[in-house]
Amino acid sequence: MEQLISLCKRRGFVFQASEIYGGLAGFWDYGPLGVELANNLKKEWWNAMVQDHENIFGIDGAIIQNPKLWEASGHVAGFTDPLVEDLVTNKRYRADHLAGVDSNDVDELNRLLEGKKSPDGNPLGPVRTFNMMMKTFIGPIEDTDSIAYLRPETAGSIFVNYKNVQETMRAKLPFGVAQVGKAFRNEISPRDFIFRVRELEQMEMQYFIRSIDQEAAYEQWRAFAWNFLKDRLGIAESNLQWHEHAEDERAHYAAAAHDVYFNFPQGFKELWGTHNRTDYDLSSHMRVSGQDLQYFDEETKERFTPYIIESSVGVGRMLLAVLTNAYHEETMDGETRVVLKLKPSLAPYKACVSPLLKNKPELVEKARTVFIALKKKFGMVMWDDNGNIGKRYRRQDEIGTPFCIVIDFDTLGENPDLLDTVTVRDRDTGTQERVAIKDLKQYIEEKM
């Protein structure tokens, strides 16, 4: 983890939020490379989830919703974690983590922690429950009538827009609603870099179905998660495993829950969740709002409350998984190098263009022509003329750039047979080949 954090800071993937003021636990800023990688991941997910399906539709819901939404969903009453406080330092910790068990039972945790000390060696207070929703106020007066919450998940706005989407898109079951957006959780102890944070971005899809189709749909979206990680992101299957939630692990509304676990630096942990939420969500919102959210089948004349299969993954965790999977330290040409073997389509920069020497105007001019043409085609192309070629290669290896393109004197015709060709170096193998400038766009496109 220390190696990844160092790389992310050094090369501009992730920075500590408000770092010059000492930072703020659980909040991170994505730098120039991090935002490109995150955007590529979101684009890949959106393409696979929404654009590749004819029956899944996207929305972008507001971060702050009517607080009754969170009362209906059970978040106001039940979105809690067990908390224990160091009586000397007043630091707060997750009681279940200190006890080493997966439990929210206050009595059990008090019994397990009896006589135990905090990580600082001090006595602990009693276990209490702690709501993880972040509270705010709407309007100029801060009173109980103006309380609102930053959403703890993006799914809430999908459920309350279910009828709007179904009617405006003339959607018939089964159909899904997808969203990418920020969520906020007041974690007691954010940790493991960007793995557990207080501000996160989620990619979620809620699939509305008939109850008789729940098993088939559940397996469909389990397979989607696994295959997306493996095929679309290039993650090795050896880094993935399934975890099925036991009955005492599942949320009270869930009939089934599976997580894809990834082998993060701290071990196999949750990456992507697939959950059978039954008809809990729409039934709850109908009860609290008084609105009819049932589905009417015009052919069979049936009226019923749809079941929901949820597919949910965090952008930050996906980014951390992709970086972990891609990170390699290896020897090349007698030197140790760090290389991110990212799938080329995900890499922040698709190529880097360099003149062999930056003090030769003719090389620089030709290299700029190549650079501008490739940038128009691929967008994210880097210009690098600093240091020797070997150092430039190492810099690009560290940020995962799949192709380094060098304009040399042969490009200008010193060797007539190589006129208007360039050297293209492959990131993963280090092999180099000459490619005609006129063929560069097609060459990179095919490799990607």
Q: For 215-247, how does the pLDDT look when each residue is reduced to its tens digit (9 = 90+)? A: 999 999 999 999 999 999 999 999 999 999 988
Q: Average pLDDT for residues 134-141, to the nearest whole number? A: 89
Q: Average pLDDT for residues 74-82, to the nearest whole number? A: 73
pLDDT for residue 90: 77
Q: Average pLDDT for residues 82-90, to the nearest whole number? A: 85
The answer to whether residue 133 scores a pLDDT higher than 90 is: no
Write the burial class of residue 308 (CB in 10 Å: 0-12 exposed, 13-18 middle, 19+ buried).
buried
pLDDT for residue 13: 97
Cα–chain-centroid distance for residue 22? Answer: 25
The answer to whether residue 72 scores a pLDDT higher than 90 is: no
Write the burial class of residue 386 (CB in 10 Å: 0-12 exposed, 13-18 middle, 19+ buried).
exposed
- Look at the domain 80-131 and name its fold: Herpes Virus-1 (3.30.40)
pLDDT confidence band for 78 (50 / 70 / 90):
low
Summarize pLDDT for 365-408 with one digit per residue, the tens. 999 999 999 999 999 999 999 999 999 999 999 999 999 999 99
pLDDT for residue 104: 75
pLDDT for residue 253: 85
CB atoms within 10 A of CB 264: 21
Residue 364 in contact with residue 356, Cβ under 8 Å? no
CA proximity to 147, closest of 68, 61, 62, 81: 68
Percent of the chain with pLDDT over 90: 79
Summarize pLDDT for 412-434 with one digit per residue, the tens. 999 999 999 999 999 999 999 99
Domain spans of the chain, in order of start: 2-73+134-323, 80-131, 349-447
Q: Which CATH code for domain 349-447?
A: 3.40.50.800
| Amino acid type, 314 | G
Q: Which two tokens mark 278?
A: 């039954």
CA proximity to 203, closest of 65, 43, 346: 43
pLDDT for residue 21: 96
309 phi, psi to nearest 5 deg? -105, 125
Q: Which two tokens mark 74?
A: 């059970």
The residues, ordered by sequence, that sit 6+ positions from 397 with a Cβ below 8 Å of its Cβ are 337, 338, 339, 340, 427
pTM for the full predicted model: 0.90
What is the Cα gyration radius of the chain? Answer: 26
Residue 86 in contact with residue 93, Cβ under 8 Å? yes
What is the sign of the dihedral through the CA atoms of 12, 18, 24 and 29?
A: negative
41 phi, psi to nearest 5 deg? -65, -45
Q: Cα(39)–Cα(380) distance, rounded to whole angstroms? A: 12
Q: Cα(197)–Cα(180) distance, rounded to whole angstroms? A: 17
Summarize pLDDT for 181-228 with one digit per residue, the tens. 999 998 888 889 999 999 999 999 999 999 999 999 999 999 999 999
Q: Average pLDDT for residues 162-183, to the nearest whole number? A: 97
Question: Nearest 5°: CA angle at 260, between 226 and 313?
Answer: 85
* Strands 128-131 and 256-264, sheet pairing: unpaired
pLDDT for residue 77: 67
Name the average pLDDT for the chain.
Answer: 93
Q: Please check whether the two domains, 2-73+134-323 and 80-131, share a CATH topology.
A: no
Superfamily of domain 2-73+134-323: Bira Bifunctional Protein; Domain 2 (3.30.930.10)
The answer to whether residue 102 scores a pLDDT higher than 80 is: no
Q: Average pLDDT for residues 159-165, to the nearest whole number? A: 96
Q: Which two tokens mark 214?
A: 């729940």
pLDDT for residue 282: 96
Residue 174 in contact with residue 161, Cβ under 8 Å? no
pLDDT for residue 19: 95
Of the two residues 131 and 264, the one the predictor is more confident about is 264
